[in-house]
Structure 1
Amino acid sequence: MDRLTEMEAFATVVDQGGFTDAARKMGISKSAVSKHVSSLEGRLGARLLNRTTRRVSPTEIGLAYYDRARRVLNDAGEADSLVTSMQGVPSGQLQVSVETDFGVNLLSPVIGGFLQEFPDINVNMELNNRYVELISEGFDLAIRIGEQEDNTLRTRKLAETEKCMVGAPSYFEKYGRPERIDDLNDHKLLHYSNESSAAVWKLTSPSGEQRQVRTAGWLSVNDGQSLLNAAVSGLGVAYLPSFIYADALEKGLVVKAIPDLPVECQGIYVVYPPGRYVQPKVRAFIDFLIRSFADKGPTEW
């Protein structure tokens, strides 16, 4: 006989307290349930049930076997449910954490396409620049930029972006154009206000030396687009990812401050909790992101 069916018959007898109710629960005859249990006892070489005319109860060995058998049966049931859900239509609430600049400039314009493709999914998108704990804070996934230090999360790379210093031509006409990293000390610098390290720009010199420039300037903003707007208006030099400044650079609204410096390239990633099983709604969104940004970066935005 099938081992799992024997196990199920025995566990159901224990759960229901007798063969009659177990047979009703399983939708088979009482004699069939009895045969499954007898076959199991014969295969194991042990009596699992105490049988009297009034009641049925597990033996000491039977009780120990029941605990393990019930776990196996529960796992089997979850496995069946897993296959069913994976073949179903993606649905439910999707909790997404996105870095503000990427969310405003790139994800917001395309999210409508995802919602139209998957109308049974509701997206709650939280824009912030803090590090969120996905599992404890209830997020299904996050989009992050730069090196990913948490190797416990699963990661898919979406694209790359370059980070570069830019300023308006009018600004450089007025204040001169820096030729070296040290020249930045004489310029108006614009930086993020929501990062602990934002007042320090980490740059690489043409020789490959890693340099740090402390950037006291006219303006600090917690939004990249606002920094770009300030740079375009001639307020100073901003250090931004290419997905923010690429269009302005192409239109000539800004130019690179020190073109000879090595380019810093950053990855853009979607990260999500570990595990072999990925919920259909999460898989659908990741696939959508990969399609949406397949031809983007590091400068083509």
Structure 2
Amino acid sequence: MVVDQGGFTDAARKMGISKSAVSKHVSALETRLGARLLNRTTRRVSPTDIGLAYYDRARRVLNDAGEADSLVTAMQSAPSGLLRMSVPTDFGTTLLSPMLGPFLQSYPDISVNMVLKNRYVELISEGFDMAIRIGDLADSSLRARKFAEASYRMIAAPSYLQAHGRPMRIDDLNEHRLLHYSNQASNNVWKIIAPSGETRQVRCEGWLTVNDGQSLLNAAVDGLGIAYLPSYLYHDALKTGQVVDVIPDLPKDIKGVYAVYPPGRYTQPKVRAFIDYLAIRFSGIGPDTW
């Protein structure tokens, strides 16, 4: 306080105590440390080199303590503010959009900006509070919570298989019309788990390329070819017989569905509230049943 105010008199006035009391506190501190912290003249008081270094570190500690107090208060406050999240287009359109209404009604002080993107965003640099990601998590520095699982299968309409035959092995896919998802990060390759457990790569440049999973499902239902899709998209069509599992003997390819958010010891209340909401809503769902 003496350094901030430029002298004992102003520091005493700011703190509401006597000038002599301030001087005694500083002298006692210097005695305990065994070093002179302030240069005192009749006109001014200035920190010594040691005093300035001590002041900088002490100020940092006080600021951290103040931020910690504010953080505790915020963590105990009701969730509020703008929640900006990045969500894969298909997952957001099919599953999350219908869930936002009940969430916002439960938390009227939260507003949501859901950005549908089929790419991994940089959360901090692009200003996102959280993201939904499916499959392997490339960025291990982020915190993550798995709240669901989805299985991936090759599906096709019975009419397509009747017209073109059913592939019995992964190698047979080379002779079929494959419906390709153009936003795949795997360079136009399906990664299929073989019966041996190894991962096989299938080049999937096919008859139709589109960057929307629902459109691929529609194409498969119409008998245009074979699509490789997550269970949350094909579940209803599979249940009603509009599509079938093309090679049912293959091992299931199950991928986790995660909520990811920036690292840190504490989670913002608005983020924690939404992730807890997802965990409740998706409890008991997947990987095959949606």
Q: TM-score, normalised by structure 2?
A: 0.92
Aligned: 1:199 with 2:188 = yes
Whichever residue aligns with residue 148 of structure 1, its letter is L
Q: Does 1:35 align with 2:28?
A: no
Distance 1:196 1:272, change over 3 A: closer
CA distance in 2, matches of 1:186, 1:106: 34
State which of 138, 144, 148 in structure 1 corresponds to 2:127. Answer: 138
For 1:169 and 1:198, locate their aligned partners in 2 and report how far apart those are by CA, in whole Å.
28
SS at match of 1:229: helix
Residue pair 1:191, 1:198 contacting (<8 A) in 2 also: no
Residues 106-160 of structure 1, C-alpha deviations (whole Å, 9 max, x = no match): 1111122222222222221111111211121111111111111221111111111
Partner of 1:76: 65
Q: Which runs of 5+ in 1 are unaligned?
A: 1-11
- The one-letter amino acid paired with 1:60 is D
Deviation at 1:273, TM superposition (A): 1.5
Give the distance between the partners of 2:199 and 2:76, measured in 1 at CA.
Answer: 51
Which amino acid counterpart does residue 47 of structure 1 have in structure 2?
Answer: R
Alignment-mate amino acid for residue 258 of structure 1: I
* CA distance 1:21–1:117, change in 2 (3 Å): farther
In structure 2, relative to structure 1, the CA distance for the partners of 1:289 and 1:24 (3 Å cut) is farther
What SS does structure 2 have at the residue aligned with 1:178? coil
Give the 3-state SS of the residue equivalent to 1:23 in structure 2: helix
Which residue in 2 is equivalent to 1:280? 269
Deviation at 1:198, TM superposition (A): 5.6
1:148 corresponding residue in structure 2: 137
Residue number in structure 1 paired with 2:221: 232
Which of 19, 37, 47 matches 2:8?
A: 19
Identify the residue that residue 177 of structure 2 maps to in structure 1: 188
Alignment: residue pair count: 290
Q: 5 Å matches for 1:53-132? A: 53-132=42-121
Rounded Cα–Cα distance in structure 1 between residues aligned with 2:205 and 2:32: 79
1:2-28 deviation per Cα after TM superposition (whole angstroms, max 9, x unaligned)? xxxxxxxxxx11101122322333344
Q: Distance in 2 between matches of 1:215 and 1:50?
A: 77
Residue 214 of structure 1: how far off its partner (Å): 1.9
Q: Following the alignment from structure 1 to structure 2, what is the Cα–Cα distance between the partners of residues 65 and 213? A: 64
Q: 1:264 aligns with which of 248, 253, 261?
A: 253
Task: Flag the 1:181–1:41 CA change in 2: closer, same or farther, 3 A.
Answer: same
Query: Which segment is superposed worse, 256-265 or 189-198?
Result: 189-198
Q: CA RMSD in A?
A: 1.9
Report the 3-state secondary structure (helix = DSSP H, G, I; strand = E; otherwise coil) of the residue aligned with 2:124: helix
Residue identity opposite 1:73 in structure 2: L
Q: Which moved more, 1:61-70 or 1:42-51?
A: 42-51
Deviation of the 1:244 alpha carbon: 0.7
CA distance in 2, matches of 1:277, 1:134: 16
Aligned partners of 2:107, 2:92: CA distance in 1, in Å? 19
Percent identity of the aligned residues?
73
CA, structure 1 residues 199+52, in 2 after alignment: closer, same or farther (shift >3 Å)? closer
Provide closer, same or farther for how the CA distance between residues 24 and 80 of structure 1 changes in structure 2, counting only shifts above 3 A. Answer: farther
